[in-house]
Chain A
Amino acid sequence: MIAAERAAGAARTLTKRSAWAWVVTASAALSALPFLFRLDGRSHGDWLQFLGRFHPTLLHLPIGLIVLVPVLEVAGAKRAALREAADFVLRAALVLALPTFALGYMLAYGAGDAGATVTRHMWGAVVLCIGLMLCIVVRPAWAAREQAFVYPAMLGATLLALLWTGHHGGSITHGSGYLTQYAPRPLRMLIPGAAAEDVGGNSFYALHIHPALDAKCASCHGSGSAKAGLRLDTYDDVMKGGKDGPVVVAGKPEASMLLARVTLAPGDPHFMPAEGRTPLTSDEVAWIRAWIRAGASATATSVPGVKIARDEVEPPPQPVGDYSALVPEIEQMQHGLGAKLVPVSAKASDGLILRTVDKSSSFGDADLASFKKFAPYIVEAELGRTAVTDASFDTLKTFTHLRALHLEGTAVTGSGLGKLSSLTQLRYINLSGTKVTAQSVEALKKMTQLRHVYLFNTAAEGEGTTARSTP
C-alpha cells in the first residue's frame, strides 16, 4: 500500500516537473515571438491579414471561459462537480487563447500595426497566456488542498491581465477615448491622460489641419495605434512620415502621399480613411492641399488661396481642468461674496463664468483677487460696471483660460493692460465706457489673439478697434 502511494506520489512529481518544463518552454517561445517578428509598422502579406482578421471573432471565446473559471471555483465549494469542470474550462481557455494570440499577432504583423497601445495589448496577451499556463500547473496542488494561496493569487493576476489586455484591445478598435469619453467626472479624474491633447496657437495647422487629422485619422495613426508606423496626431509626426517614407512633401501637394491617399476614389483599396470610417470633407482636403502647397508650416497663420470666414477661424476653446474638488469652495465663495461662478455648460471642461451682476457696484479688486484660486477654470469674467480698477490686471493675468473679459463701465484707465498679453486664450475684451485712452490701449494692438475689442464711449473710440477682424 505504502509503496503504491509512494509510486503515485513520484509519478505526480514527475508529471509536475515535465509540466513545469512545458510552461517554461512555451513562455519563452511566446516572449521571444515579438523579438523574432518585430511589429515594425510594415505590412506583411495578405494571408496573414486575412487570417488575422478572425482575431476579433475568436477572442471573446477564451475571455468567456477565463471569466467562467473563478465562477466555477467559487460555486464548486457547494457542488464538487463544478470544481472538476473548472479544470477542464481552464485548459480549454488556454487551448483557445493560444490561437487567439497567434491570430492577433498575425493581424498586427500583417497589417503593419504599431504603436504603444498595440504593443501593450500584445504584451498583455503574452502575460495572459503565461498566466493561464501557470494556473493550470499550480491548480492540482490547490485542488488537493496542499497549497491554499498560490492558485487563487495566480488566477487573480490572470484576470487582471485579461482586463488590461481587453481594454487595450478595445482602445485599438474604438479609439483611446472610447471608454472615458462619457465617464462621469469623478471617474475621469482618476484616469490619467483622459483630457484631450491640446495644440495651441493660431496657426493654420493648429486651427484647420490638426483638428481634421485628429478627428479623421488619429484613431489608426495616433498615439494608440500607428498603422504603417505613421502618426498624424502631432506636427512632427506628420512631417516625419511612416515606414514608407514621408507623407508630406512641403510645397508639393501632388508628391505628398497624405493628400494622394485621401483623394483616391472612395472605392479604392488604398483610400483613406479606410474601412468605412468618415472621410475628410472637401473643405478639409482643400485645406490640406493648400497648406502643403504653401510649405506645410507649423506656424504660418494664413495660407494663400484659402479664405475661411471669420467665425470659422475662431479656434476651439482650450478645455479647462477638472475643478470638481473645488465645488464646495466655489459655493461657499458665492454665498460670501454674492458673485457667482457659473458653469458655461454641462461639460465641466467648458469652464466657469465669473458673474458679478448682483454685486457689481461693490465688487472690487480685493474681491476679484479672492477668486485667484479658481483662476485656471474661469473662461469669462463679467466685471462690467464693477468697482475694479487697473489693479485688477494683476489678478486677471493669472486667469490663464480667460476667453472673454468684460470691463465696460468700470474705472479702469488701461494702464497695465499689457499684463494681459500672456492670456493666449483671450478673444474678447470690452472696455466700453471706461477711462482708457488711445495710448493705454496701444497694448491691445500687440495682443494678436484678440478677435473682439470694444472701446465704445471712450477716448480711444476712434482707434478703429471696435471689432477687429482677423488677419
Chain B
Amino acid sequence: MKQHPLCTDCEREVDVNSLPIPAGLKREWSAVETRRQFLGRSGKVLGWAALASLFGETALRGRAVGADVKSPVSSPGRNNLGLPHFAPKAKRAIYLFMSGGPPQIDLLDYKPNLASQYDKDIPDSVRGNQQLTGMTSGQSRFPIAPSHWGFKQYGQTGTWVSDLLPYTAKMVDDLTIVKSTNTDAINHEPAIMFINTGNMNPGKPCLGSWLAYGLGSMNDNLPTFVVLQTKTNPKENNQPVSSRLWSSGFLSSEYAGVGLRSGGDPVLYLADPDGIDREVRRKMLDAVEEINRQTQADVGDPETNARIAQYEMAFRMQASVPELTDLSKEPQSTWDLYGPDAKQAGTFAYNCLLARRMAERGVRFTQIYKRGWDVHGDVVGVLPTLCAETDRASYALVTDLKRRGLLDDTLVVWAGEFGRTVYSQGGLSKENYGRDHHPRCFTTWMVGGGVRPGLTYGETDDYSYNVVKDPVHVRNFNATILACLGIDHNRLTYDYQGLDQRLTGPQPATVIQGLLA
C-alpha cells in the first residue's frame, strides 16, 4: 500500500492502483512515488546529518541567552569546501554596480578624434552586424556624438579622465581601468543578469552568492553578502533592480544577498516591539526553531535549515545592525572625505560609507546598486547629476579604505551591465544627445587586493565601438574577480541539473592575468 509521503489524511488512504485510471498512469505514479519516497528518505538522512553538524555545539552545551549568544547555526555558509583554492590577495570585495550602462565615451574612454566627426554617420564597417535595440533600429542615421565634456590627463600614469569625474581623476594611479569589457546582451535584463550571474536567464546564483557559498562568512553577526540600494533620483532613467540579481539561485538561500533598505529602518521589523525584550525574543525563536527542526525532520527540505539560520542571523543582526548604521562616532575626517551627502541615508555616498564600515566588520561581499545610468536622451542634462552622485563617493570609499589599511585586502569593482553607443539616439545637437545600449565594449575599473594599480587595460577603436586589443569578456571579468579572492573559477562548482554549474557558465573562461598584481 503506497501512500504519498506528504499526504496527511490517514483516514482515507487513497490507493492509486484501485482508481479507475489508465494503467499507464498507474505505472507512472508508482515510479514517481518510489522516487519521491527515496528522495524524501534520503533528504531526511541528509537533513539530520546537516542538523547534527549545525547543532553539534548547542546539542552538547545548551544555549545561552543574551546579546552575544553564539549559536552554531550562526556560521552561515560554514566553509567546508576547502576554499580559497590558493592564498587570496583580497579577503572581501565591494562592488559598485552602475545599473543602466554608463556611457564610457563620456567618462573614461577618451576619443579625441570624434570631435572632428560631429554629426557624421558612423561607418558601416565599424558597426558591422551588431544587433541594435528597438530604440535605435528604426533610426535612418547614426550620427556620431562626441563627448560634451573635455578630458584631461591625470596622475603619473597620465590617464585621460573626463571633466565629469574630478574625484576619480585623483585616484587613477591606483585604479585598474578595463576599457575592453564586453558582454553578450544588449538589453538591461539579460545583460545585468549576465554580469551578475553568468547567465542571461534568472535562476543562477550571483557572484556574491558564489562567494558566500565558496568562502563562507568572516563574522557571525552580519550577513556574508549585503546589498545596498541607492535611493533613486526621479530625474534619472531608472531601470528596475530587484532581488533576482542577488539571488542564490539553486544554492541554499542562506547565500542570497541581504538587502539593507535605503530609507527608514535598514532592516524592517528588526527592532523588538514594546514589551518584548531579548529574552522573550530568544524564547520565541527557540520555539520556532523547534518547529522548524521537526519540519526539517519530516520533509527533509534543506531550505528549512536555511530558514533556521536566517532567524538566528536576524536575531544577531538586532544588535549588530544598529551599531553598523550608527555613524555618530565617525570622525570629522570621514565627512570631509565623503561629503555632506553621506549623512543622508540612502545616498550613494552613505552606502559607500556603510560599505567601508561593513568591510571593517567582516562582511565578505557588499554590492551597492546605483540606478539611473540609462541615458537614452538628455545626456548633457543627466550625466553631471549621476557623476556628482557617484564620483566623489567612489573616490571617498577607495581613499578611506586605503588610508585605513583596508585596500590591501579589499577588492573594489566599479561596473555596469554594458556601455553606450558613440552615435546619438534621437536628435543630435551641439547642446545635447542621447546614447543607446552598447554591448561590444564598456569601461569598468577595479582597485585594491589582487589587481595591478595604475593600469589601463584593453583598447577600443576610434569610435569606442569595437575592442581592438585585449578584450575582457564578462565571463573573464568574473573569473578574474574570483581569482583575486583566491578562487579558481573552474573549481568552484555546484552540481545542479546534471551540470557542474559555475559562475562563468559552461563556456571556457580565463583569468585575465594582465589585470592581476
Which residues of chain B are within 8 angstroms of A456 by Cβ–Cβ distance? 403-405
Would you give the shortest CB distance from B96 to chain A, in whole angstroms?
22
Which residues of chain B are within 8 angstroms of A457 by Cβ–Cβ distance? 331, 333
Quick check: is B221 within 8 A (CB to CB) of the other chain? yes
Quick check: is A357 within 8 A (CB to CB) of the other chain? yes
Would you give the shortest CB distance from B174 to chain A, in whole angstroms?
11
Nearest residue in A to B216 (C-beta to C-beta)?
A342
Q: How many residues of B contact A (CB 8 A)?
A: 28
Quick check: is B85 within 8 A (CB to CB) of the other chain? yes
Most buried by B among A346, A347, A428, A467: A346
- By size class, the interface of chain A is 20 to 34
Which residues of chain A are within 8 angstroms of B331 by Cβ–Cβ distance? 457
Quick check: is B452 within 8 A (CB to CB) of the other chain? yes
Nearest residue in A to B84 (C-beta to C-beta)?
A345
Quick check: is B219 within 8 A (CB to CB) of the other chain? yes
Which residues of chain B are within 8 angstroms of A432 by Cβ–Cβ distance? 403-405
| Complex contact A454–B405 (CB within 8 A) | yes
Quick check: is A335 within 8 A (CB to CB) of the other chain? yes
- Compute how far the CA of A314 lies from the CA of B408 in the bound complex, rounded to whole angstroms: 13
- Compute how far the CA of A338 lies from the CA of B221 in the bound complex, rounded to whole angstroms: 12
With A338-B70, A357-B219, A457-B333 already in contact, the answer to whether A346 and B83 are too (CB < 8 A) is: yes
With A346-B86, A347-B87 already in contact, the answer to whether A384 and B333 are too (CB < 8 A) is: no
Quick check: is B220 within 8 A (CB to CB) of the other chain? yes
Give residues 392-433 of B contacting A (CB, 8 Å): 402-405, 408-409
Nearest residue in B to A338 (C-beta to C-beta)?
B70
| Complex contact B403–A454 (CB within 8 A) | yes
Quick check: is A430 within 8 A (CB to CB) of the other chain? yes
Quick check: is B32 within 8 A (CB to CB) of the other chain? no
Interface string of B340-369 (1 = CB under 8 A from A): 000000000000000000001110000000
With A317-B87, A346-B82, A357-B362 already in contact, the answer to whether A454 and B404 are too (CB < 8 A) is: yes
Would you give the shortest CB distance from A35 to chain B, in whole angstroms?
49
Give residues 394-450 of A contacting B (CB, 8 Å): 404, 406, 408, 428, 430, 432
| Complex contact A358–B404 (CB within 8 A) | no
- Compute how far the CA of A430 lies from the CA of B402 in the bound complex, rounded to whole angstroms: 11
Nearest residue in A to B454 (C-beta to C-beta)?
A309
Which residues of chain A are within 8 angstroms of B402 by Cβ–Cβ distance? 467
Give residues 452-487 of B contacting A (CB, 8 Å): 452-453, 486
With A311-B452, A456-B405, A457-B331 already in contact, the answer to whether A335 and B57 are too (CB < 8 A) is: yes
| Complex contact A347–B86 (CB within 8 A) | yes
Nearest residue in A to B316 (C-beta to C-beta)?
A358
| Complex contact B221–A358 (CB within 8 A) | yes
- Compute how far the CA of A355 lies from the CA of B402 in the bound complex, rounded to whole angstroms: 21
Choose one: B218, B362, B405, B453; the contact of A428 (CB below 8 Å).
B405
Most buried by A among B84, B361, B405: B405
Quick check: is B88 within 8 A (CB to CB) of the other chain? yes
Nearest residue in B to A429 (C-beta to C-beta)?
B405
Quick check: is A344 within 8 A (CB to CB) of the other chain? yes
Which residues of chain B are within 8 angstroms of A406 by Cβ–Cβ distance? 405
| Complex contact A350–B87 (CB within 8 A) | yes
Most buried by B among A317, A452, A456: A456
Would you give the shortest CB distance from A402 to chain B, in whole angstroms?
15
Nearest residue in B to A312 (C-beta to C-beta)?
B517
Quick check: is A234 within 8 A (CB to CB) of the other chain? no
| Complex contact A345–B57 (CB within 8 A) | no
Which residues of chain B are within 8 angstroms of A358 by Cβ–Cβ distance? 70, 219-221, 362
- Compute how far the CA of A408 lies from the CA of B404 in the bound complex, rounded to whole angstroms: 8
Which residues of chain A are within 8 angstroms of B360 by Cβ–Cβ distance? 384-385
Which residues of chain A are within 8 angstroms of B403 by Cβ–Cβ distance? 432, 454, 456, 466
- Compute how far the CA of A406 lies from the CA of B218 in the bound complex, rounded to whole angstroms: 15
Q: Which residues of A are interface residues toward B (Cβ below 8 A)?
A: 311, 317, 335, 338, 344-347, 350, 355, 357-358, 384-385, 404, 406, 408, 428, 430, 432, 452, 454, 456-457, 466-467
List 18 additional contacts besides A338-B70, A385-B360; criterion CB under 8 Å.
A317-B87, A344-B88, A345-B83, A345-B84, A346-B84, A346-B85, A347-B86, A350-B86, A355-B218, A357-B218, A357-B219, A358-B219, A358-B221, A408-B405, A428-B408, A454-B404, A456-B404, A456-B405
Q: Which residues of B are interface residues toward A (Cβ below 8 A)?
A: 57, 70, 82-88, 218-221, 331, 333, 360-362, 402-405, 408-409, 452-453, 486, 517
Between-chain CB contacts (< 8 Å), 12 pairs: A345-B84, A345-B85, A347-B87, A358-B70, A358-B220, A384-B360, A404-B409, A432-B403, A432-B404, A452-B405, A456-B404, A467-B402
List 5 tightest A-B contacts by C-beta distance, closest first: A454-B405, A430-B405, A357-B362, A456-B403, A346-B82
